[in-house]
Amino acid sequence: MSNFSDFFPAAGGGGGGIPKYQEFTTSGTFTPSQELIDAGGRIAYFIVSGGQRGTTGYEHGGAGGGIEWGYMTLTSTSSCTVTIGAAGGDGSVPGNSSVAFSSAGGTDITANAPVLQYSAYSQVKNTLGTGWGNAFDNSMRSSAGSGFFGYGAGGSSLNNSYHGGIMAVRANSGQGSPPGVAAADGFVRITWFE
C-alpha cells in the first residue's frame, strides 16, 4: 500500500469509508458486502495458525503459530471459507489457519502451523519466525519468541527462569504452551472500509 487513499477510499466521490472488521475464533465464512466492493474491495487480513503444545518429557515449550498478514483487493460478494487451525496436542501437529479469498476474486492465504519437534537439543520455530518455543536441558538453553503483539508467541519450558516464554496461554492467540498445558487455537481478523 503506497497511498493513504488505497485503504481509505473516497466512497461515492467524497469522504472516507466506515471502518469494519470481522474476527473468527472458530471456522466460518467471510462474505464481502456490496458496500465493500463498491468502495474498491480493499481488505486487510491477519491470520494465525494453531500453536504447539510443549513436549512433555523433554522440557520444551511449544512453538507459536505461524502468522500471515497483508492487504488484498476483492472483486465480488462471494463467500470465502475461513478455517481456524486447532492447537496441537501431545504428539500432534497444530492446524493451519486459512481464508479462501479466491472465491471473491482474491488469493487464498494460509498461515502454516509449526512442525512438531521432539528433540531436547533443537529449538522449535514456525515458518515466519514469530515464536520460538524455548528448550531447557543441561546442555542448551534457548529463548522463546515473543510473537507479534503476543500472537504466535512461544511457550515456556518447565524452567523459565533463563529464557521466558508464555506460561499462561491466551485463547485464540496461536500461542505455544509449556509442557502439560494446552496451547492456543488460531485466529483470523479481516478489516475493511465501506
* pLDDT of 187 over the 80 cut: yes
Local confidence band at 53 (pLDDT 50, 70, 90 cut-offs): confident
User: Between 49 and 58, whose confidence is greater?
Assistant: 49
At 22 the three-state DSSP class reads: strand
Predicted TM-score (pTM) of this structure: 0.82
Q: Cell 470481522 appears where?
A: 22
Q: Write down the pLDDT at residue 3.
A: 53
d(CA 157, CA 21): 35
Query: Does residue 140 register a pLDDT over 70?
Result: no
The mean pLDDT of the chain is 79
pLDDT (0 to 100) of residue 118: 39
Model confidence band, residue 155 (pLDDT cutoffs 50, 70, 90): confident
Would strands 109-111 and 42-48 be described as parallel, antiparallel, or unpaired? unpaired
- Which tops the pLDDT comparison, 119 or 107? 107
Closest by alpha carbon to 52, among 91, 87, 86?
A: 87
Percentage of residues in the chain having pLDDT higher than 70: 71
3-state secondary structure (DSSP) of residue 116: coil
- Non-local (6+) Cβ contacts of 142 within 8 A are 123, 132, 134, 135, 136, 163
